[in-house]
Every structure is written in structure tokens, then in C-alpha cells.
Structure 1
């Protein structure tokens, strides 16, 4: 039997962090995985809940959460009712959110009673992959990290977001969410925060200095994050392991909403490869 707890903790930037914790009952000393969603994502997107259950069935405590400024709320954690929060999000806030979740793991007596906090791994998807890599390099509590369809360069995405001069002049730029049809704002503070923290937010710098086991997984049919980004990560950290899944797309066959009771084949394969990696490193 599995248990899933829904928990709200305080973030460092006025907004709460909504998360859930999935684990097998009557087990102790469980290794911990913290999962970070990607851009325009959330913890309950698509098949992430089924993924959490598959990890828990393999005797992990699996924690996934919404970044505090991802656009969701405590009352409505799915999709983006709070576009003002979304517009005020940035990479350093996401790093702070992840740190808050890690701190909670180490300070919560109930979780400590069933887990081994000294066996903590991070898994990040897409933009969340970059966040986990930066945090894994700077926080020695993290013992291994997995990059799923991860980006390798935030600066390049910043430049591609829009015309910087127009962004500065207008104070905001908008990106269409093709699924929800919302015009999603990015306030200019996003760029200002990146420039102010560019060294820290350079994924290449973090990966070059990474000293823990690192697994890179991506599909060769990913049109959102090109395969060269995975190859860059592997080149910067030759001790990493690179797995390319033939035919897999950016979300490994999942979609939102996901109404089937089983994982898509490619995502199920991803979970199996992650479990093998984490148990053998």
C-alpha cells in the first residue's frame, strides 16, 4: 500500500509551496527523491502522479512540488490561476524553493522517521533540470542527480524569449500557453535577476564542478530541447551517464491530462532506468 500526503510549506518569497509526498506504508530508511517540474509545468501535470507511485512502489519516498511562483495556488495547484505570480517568477526563486523543500526534509520529524535524509536525490525535467543541476553542485546534502530532457543554457533561452529592448521598455513580455490559451507574462525582473546572478545560473559552470553521480536521459524525438543540450551536459561531466531513448519526445509520451491508469511506455522506461541508476550508484 502507498500513502500520499499533500503538504503546504512556507516559501522564502511570500508565497507557499504546495507539495505531495508519496511512499510505501510500513517502510523505513527510504531513500528520497525530490522532483522539479519544468517551464509552464506543475507537480500534477500529465502522468507525474503515476510516476511518483512507480518510484514509491520501488521503495522510494518521492516528493514533488509546485514552485511557489509557477502560477498555481494552494486552492488550485493545477494550471495557472495566478498569472501575476507567474510573471514574477525567476530562477533564483526556484532555487530558493528547492532549498526550502530540502530543508523541510531534514527538519520534519515525521519524514525523518521513515526516510534516510542522507540518501537524497534530485530529478529535474526540462527547465527544472537546470535548477536541480545548479542546486546539486552547491548543496552537499544531495547525493545524486538525474536530468530528464534538461536544458543546458539559461542565457540562450533568455535571449530567445523576446527583444530585450522592447522587454525593458514595456516591463513585460507575454508567451502564449498553447494548451490553456493564456497569455503568460514575464516581467522584466526575470531578466534583471538572471543578469545579477548569471554566474550562479550558468548550468555549464555547475555541471563542470559536479562531484556526484549524474544521469542524463532524453528522447531523440524531443523538439523542445534539442539533443545537443544533453550532449553538452555529458561533455561537461564525462563521469555522467547519458541515455537516449529512441522515439521518445520531450515528455516521454505523456500529455495533460493523462487519463490512463498506466504510464506511457517511454516514461515507464525512464523510471526503470532512474531506479537502476540510483540503486547502483
Structure 2
């Protein structure tokens, strides 16, 4: 733990078509500007799901200006927008736009407590589908200096498939149409070849077979990037929702992520906190 005060500031970013992004910033107020870490939750989660508040707190305590936010699809459902608006909010394209909106606001008017943020040194960490969108976003945002992918970011986004005898939902149809129309733009694997920043892929050995196969293929193609296997960890590193506390597997994922970030931001974190 640390003796400095951990400050929290909330923010909201209006988007087109009635969408909005909500989130929080967590940062130690110790008088130093800190590298920014932006956290992106998985497709079925949200910023308050299971381990995310605890993970955000721990990164902040280790010396990062930590940003956690809900992708716009979360508020779209809560606000009971039209079915079409909710469906479009769930697309991969909107997820990319949400990453961009958060970092753009950070670098312009700020998200709160911006005096503590070193906006020229940004890293992103995404879980599951957001790991892939995080990789793509990082390839297009010059301020991003590193990417962490937790149990994802190793293949193209999953396309919805209708169950036998059933039709795709409106949301699934929108997601599929977006993926089909932008297949080249959403080439997550190919993007690694264009990156000139480091990536850490952290994955559980008990995750889905499709992901494990994709990890092996990606590691063969891009051995210069970093890969860490968490033995026995499932897709959520064995954490539960409702939250029951940090698991050993989640602790391993966090520790490896912190070591990776320290290597990337070694000069910025000089004299900062360590585990």
C-alpha cells in the first residue's frame, strides 16, 4: 500500500446518436506526472464488472494515471435507446471509436485530474474483444507507446453465428454487417506487423481452444512481442462476478503487466512505486 492519497474523478463523454461514455480516473496525488493507462473491458462486461475496479485501483497505486470506462454500448442499453441504436453501439467499429473518444478527450480538455497525467506516454490494456480493438487503436494513435492484451487480441473479432433454427438478433446482424464491411480494417493479426511499439499478450492456458491456437500462431509470426501464459487460468483469470477477490491467476496477470509497463516507461517511473 501507499501513503499518498488515491484520487478518483468521474467523467462522461457525449457521442453521436445519443450515445455516451462514462468512466473514472484513478491516480495517486504525489506531485508527479504519470504515464496513462487506459483499461478496456470485454464484450459481456463493464467497467464495474468483477475485478475491474480492483485492477484499476492497483494500477493507480503503482504509479499510473489509470482510466477505466464503459464502452458506449453499456449506457445505450441502460438509457433504453432504440433497438437500432443499441445494435450499432455494440459493433466493433463503435468500440474503436470509443477508445479514440476517450484518448482524444484526455489529450484535449482532459478527463479530470489531468494535471497528474503525462499525456505523451499512454498505454492501453484490453480484455477479450477489447484486446483486439485496443491493438487496432494503438496502431493508429501516436501517443500510445504500449499495448497489453488480456485473453484476446490474437485474432479477428468473432462473427455472430445463428443457432440452428434461429435468426440472428438485431444486434448480431449489426455486428456481422460491420465486421463484413470492414474485414481489412479489422485485421488484428496483420496489424502486429505494422506496430513499432511493444505488445504483451497475457493468456490463460484454460481459455478457449480457439484463442490458444491463435496465440500459438501469433507467437510464431511475431516472436519479437511478449507472450505470457498463466497456467490454469480461464478467460477471466478465474475471477468471479459478483466479485470474490483477486485470484492467483489474476495476480500473475497483473504482476506481468506491471513488469512490462515498467520496462516501457522506465524513465517516467523512476522513483515511483514498485511491487
| Selected match of 1:280 from 253, 257, 263 | 263
Mapped to 1, the partners of 2:105 and 2:131 lie a distance apart of 21
In the alignment, structure 1 residue 202 sits paired with structure 2 residue 187:
yes
Decide whether aligned partners of structure 1 residues 224 and 37 sit closer, same or farther in structure 2, where only a CA change above 3 A counts.
farther
- Displacement after TM superposition at 1:238 (Å): 2.2
Change (3 A) 1:272 1:257: same
State the distance in 1 between where 2:91 and 2:171 align. 9
State the TM-score, normalizing by the size of structure 1.
0.83
> Cα 1:33–1:143, aligned 2, differ >3 Å: closer, same or farther?
same
Counterpart of 2:252 in structure 1 is 269
Q: Which residue of 1 is the match for residue 212 of structure 2?
A: 227
Q: Per the alignment, in what secondary structure is the counterpart of residue 216 of structure 1?
A: strand
Q: CA deviation at 1:259?
A: 4.0
Q: Structure 2-normalised TM-score?
A: 0.85
Give unpaired runs (5+ residues) of structure 1.
Answer: 76-80, 175-184
State the 1:74 CA deviation: 6.9
> Do residues 20 (structure 1) and 29 (structure 2) align?
no
Q: 1:64 aligns with which of 52, 62, 68?
A: 68
SS at match of 1:255: coil
Q: Distance in 2 between matches of 1:9 and 1:215?
A: 29
Q: Is the 8 A contact 1:207 1:236 kept in 2?
A: no
State the Cα distance separating 1:94 from its structure 2 match. Answer: 0.7
Q: How many Å separate the matches in 2 of 1:201 and 1:238?
A: 21
1:161 aligns to what SS in structure 2? coil
Distance of aligned partners of 1:136 and 1:218 in 2 relative to their CA distance in 1, 3 Å threshold: same
Shift of 1:64: 1.1
Q: 1:50 aligns with which of 49, 54, 59?
A: 54
Deviations 1:222-274 (A, max 9, x none): 137531222233233221111001111111121111044xx222112211111
Alignment match, 2:9: 5
3-state SS of the aligned residue for 2:234? coil
Give the conservation status (yes or no) of the 8 Å contact 1:130–1:152.
yes
Query: 1:122-133, aligned counterparts within 5 Å?
Result: 122-133=124-135
Indicate the SS of the match to 2:43: coil
RMSD: 2.5
What residue ranges of structure 2 are gaps of 5+ in the alignment?
265-275
- In the aligned structure 1, how far is the partner of 2:193 from the partner of 2:11? 35
Is contact 2:154–2:211 with CA below 8 Å preserved after alignment? no
Report Cα offsets for 1:46-77 as digits up to 9, x if no partner. 011000111011011111111112466678xx
Q: Which residue of 2 aligns with 1:236?
A: 221
Superposed displacement of residue 82, structure 1:
6.4
Q: Which residue of 2 aligns with 1:139?
A: 141
Q: CA deviation at 1:40?
A: 1.2
The CA deviation string for residues 147-185 of structure 1, in whole angstroms up to 9 with x for no partner, is 100043336x21x52279x98xx6xx24xxxxxxxxxx5
1:73-119: CA deviation from partner (whole Å, max 9, x where unpaired): 678xxxxx769354332111110111000101101355441111111
Q: Structure 1 segments of 4 or more deviating over 4 A?
A: 71-75
1:95 corresponding residue in structure 2 = 96
Match of 1:249 in 2: 234
Q: How does 1:144-223 map to 2 (within 5 A)?
A: 144-154=146-156, 157-158=158-159, 161-162=161-162, 173-174=168-169, 186-223=171-208
